Amino acid sequence: MFLTPRLVILLPTVLFLLGADAKIPRVAHPGSKQAKYLASKRPTTTAAQVSGSFTGTGWSASAPEVSAPYANIWQELTNDEAADVIAFLHNQTNLNLTAAADAGSWDNSVMRVEIVTPNKTDVLPFVDNSQRKPERWARAAIWVGATTEPYVIEYQIGPLPISSDSTLTSLDWLTTKGTTYQRNYDADEDLTSEFMYNVSASVQDIVTDLLNGTASGSDDDDLDIWGIDPLWHPTPDTTVQWVTYWRIPSSIFDGETLMPQGLYFEVNTTGRDPLGWSVIGWLYRDVYYNSTENFRAAWEAGELEKSALNLEGPWIGTDYRGPTTSVGANSTMWGSEKAPPVMVPPSGEDGIRYKVDVENKYVEWMDFSFYIAFRRDSGMRLFDIRYRGERIVYELGLDEALAHYAGNDPVQSGTAYLDTYYGFGPYAFELLAGYDCPTYSTFLNSTFHAEEVSTTHPNSICLFENDQGYLIQRHSDDAYVASTKNIAFTVRSASTVGNYDYNFDYTFYLDGTIEIVVRASGYIQSAHYYGNDDYGYHIHSGLSGSMHDHVLTFKADIDILGTSNSFANHTVAPVTTTYPWSHGMERSTMKLFRSYIDNEDNSKLLWPENAHSMFMIVNKDAPNEFGEPRGYRIMPSKGGGMHATIQNSSNLINSMNFATHALYVTKQKDTEPRASNANNDYDPANPVVDFAAFFDGESLDQEDLVVWFNLGMHHVPHTGDLPNTVFTTAQGSMQILPHNYLLHDPSRDSLQTVRIDYNDSGVQAVHTFGASFATGLVNLTSTVPEFWDYRGDIDVRKFPYDPQHPYNDTESIV
């Protein structure tokens, strides 16, 4: 099970297959944050329910079917494949594996297995020229705990299916440091947690006095203890952790991250023997005490002035609260009790206007087609996106998500999450029809394989078409008005990674544009306000908003009429010039300056001030009939592109080089598939993948190019972030749009266009161009979600393989 020190998390349906994530404790100390579970409020999913109504491919099959042009070669391992791979690993006696269900921190075990994404150079001959299908390989992360220096290492297994020809080989070729070996300095987190609670118990009288609570490691505790991520190494041989106290909610609401208590202590947890661990010091109200004895002496001398406590109350809940006394909000919103407008599709043959191959997760809508894949680390990805039959994007998806905090206290200052460590796949829970997605959406499931369990999240991806609420085109004069509906198609998923809920949209438009949107909601991780006035606003009793940056790095492997492309920079700049007709007088104007970024050494970019430059991938060898290179432009839209404020992070060291700029361009290499690696978080100074190593001076002139771009926000939470941040303001998006790619606006090819001719006498003609209009009656009852059908995970044990007994393992992890 994946545990995180950040918040309440819901886990899904599972099949037993693989091993545990080593950074997460296998045996959590009772009472620790990792061991506190809130029982799921949903009915348990039984085997009968699974076999009866759950198909394993999605709850909705309302979309017309289509056969994919070829099998989805990027699809995650099937349950059978994962079980076979795990059995194969257990047969490798040199690995000395223990079944994940029985493994402790001093055992070796399988953490996770997944597909090795096939190399692009192997894929293109298959998909474009019907040549040999790429072999299918798996990758496995192995936890090696039977040593005083425990580590994680990855291997590749294949070809699949498992046979006498299958082998176990190194995956080092996917790294920048030459090995997947990654030390874990917190392998015994169950023991470190126990140690911290024992430290707290030794000063329980002080904790009771200052914090009015208990943190001893028992189930009756009302205080939790956790802190920085990643851990610190003041010297290469030393491991240090700062932790603080958080109040544990007694209600269903997991607002623990809203209730820091303002008391901190520092511990040395070097090595695996708790007898060698020690308390280094304490911090309270910005005063550092270099021993527990000195901290106690100051308390006994009455020198500790008490800080305001952050206590539980209705303010942490997300339910409707009713009338308040806040300024401008002294009554219930008028009309909010009435049903709002709803989206409904036409019925019958005029209904769903897209096609889906559910088994291959292949989709066609208007001029677009693409494949959907899913990964444990990064969630949903799209492959082979084609527009009007031509591939424009080979791969599009999230690579890493950074949340870097700052503060006057050591916990906020020491926190910089790399969220692919926790994974977006494990927390991509079922989407709520009618809220997350329209009720008429087509829903697909997602599956990942961890701790020798296969976990399926039903309905975790939704597909839908909807009106954007504004036109894609209009014009009018004194003789006519012409308008075209702006209908778009969206693929959506959401992942609750700790306290934050991330919503991911890939939206396709009639003009050939693709928009990537990420939004954030959920609970902020806050700080105690004392001493933090330079790092955030005072938003509740003793609460600071705790400023932080969200930087989400996406990969866009763009192919324009082939893989030989260049990166163009067209800049609008002010100039002073004369013209033959200006009679020698200078005129202040502007011009378009065209250039290319032709080398990786120059391809770390920031978005220009005043948005005066246009960046695009073009094919110099494929100009249009006017001589302009055809291409696709990339540009920020909602929220704009961004990069991390902090450079040369003291926390992440060499593991956040993907966040120093807003945009990067590199030459595509099979050995550089990801900008980060989920295991970087174990040892940020020595990452498995250091993005900086991608930039080695290679030419970008008519090469196969990859664009890496960052979305996110500089988040300084304010009172409007309580209890949860809202999607409306916490969002960022990027558009990939045609630029001199076609000879006209392709939305002119949509029949959802109308022209009305009129004069002083009224309407003279109406042109609908043969388009159909919705007819008949609407059953509004059908748009009401079936709330009681919402479900958790479906799990299947993989070692030993037990596909006949799936079970529900959805839990909240505090």
Catalytic positions, written as ranges = 419, 500
The Cα-based distances of 183 to 84, 186, 197 in angstroms read 28, 9, 25
| DSSP state letter for 273 | -
Amino acid in position 808: N
Query: How far apart (Å, rounded) are the C-alpha atoms in residues 742 and 392?
Result: 13
CB of 566 within 8 A of CB of 603? no
> How is the chain split among helix, strand and coil, in percent rounded to 5?
15, 40, 50
Nearest to 573 by CA among 589, 590, 595: 590
Task: Measure CA 37 to chain center.
Answer: 24
First to last CA, the chain: 13
- Extract the tokens encoding 748: 């002119």
- Extract the tokens encoding 264: 């901190």
Peptide bond preceding 314 in cis form (omega within 30 of 0): no
Altogether, the residues listed in the chain come to a count of: 814
Vertex 120, ends 116 and 126: CA angle to 5°?
100
Query: How far apart (Å, rounded) are the C-alpha atoms in residues 191 and 199?
Result: 12
Query: How far apart (Å, rounded) are the C-alpha atoms in residues 771 and 773?
Result: 7
CB of 371 within 8 A of CB of 386? no
Query: How far apart (Å, rounded) are the C-alpha atoms in residues 371 and 71?
Result: 10
Peptide bond preceding 426 in cis form (omega within 30 of 0): no
Query: How far apart (Å, rounded) are the C-alpha atoms in residues 398 and 722?
Result: 28
User: Given the structure tokens 């791969």, which residue do they identify?
Assistant: 395
Query: How far apart (Å, rounded) are the C-alpha atoms in residues 265 and 411?
Result: 10
Task: Measure CA 714 to chain center.
Answer: 17
User: Given the structure tokens 């001030």, which residue do they identify?
Assistant: 609
- Kindly write down the DSSP assignment for every residue of 434-466, as one continuous string: TTTB-TT-EEEEEEEEEEEEEEEEEEEEEEEEE
Nearest to 357 by CA among 57, 1, 673, 124: 57
The Cα-based distances of 776 to 344, 345, 779 in angstroms read 12, 12, 10
- Extract the tokens encoding 695: 């930039």
- Extract the tokens encoding 577: 């010039």
Query: Which residues on adjacent β-strands are paired with residue 567?
Result: 597, 617
Query: How far apart (Å, rounded) are the C-alpha atoms in residues 720 and 728?
Result: 11
Query: How far apart (Å, rounded) are the C-alpha atoms in residues 249 and 255?
Result: 7
Query: How far apart (Å, rounded) are the C-alpha atoms in residues 384 and 391?
Result: 6
Edge to edge, the sheet with strand 240-247 lists 223-227, 240-247, 260-268, 278-284, 287-289
Task: Measure CA 179 to chain center.
Answer: 26
Vertex 159, ends 155 and 165: CA angle to 5°?
105
Q: Residues 226, 279, 263, 526: is their CA dihedral positive or negative? A: negative
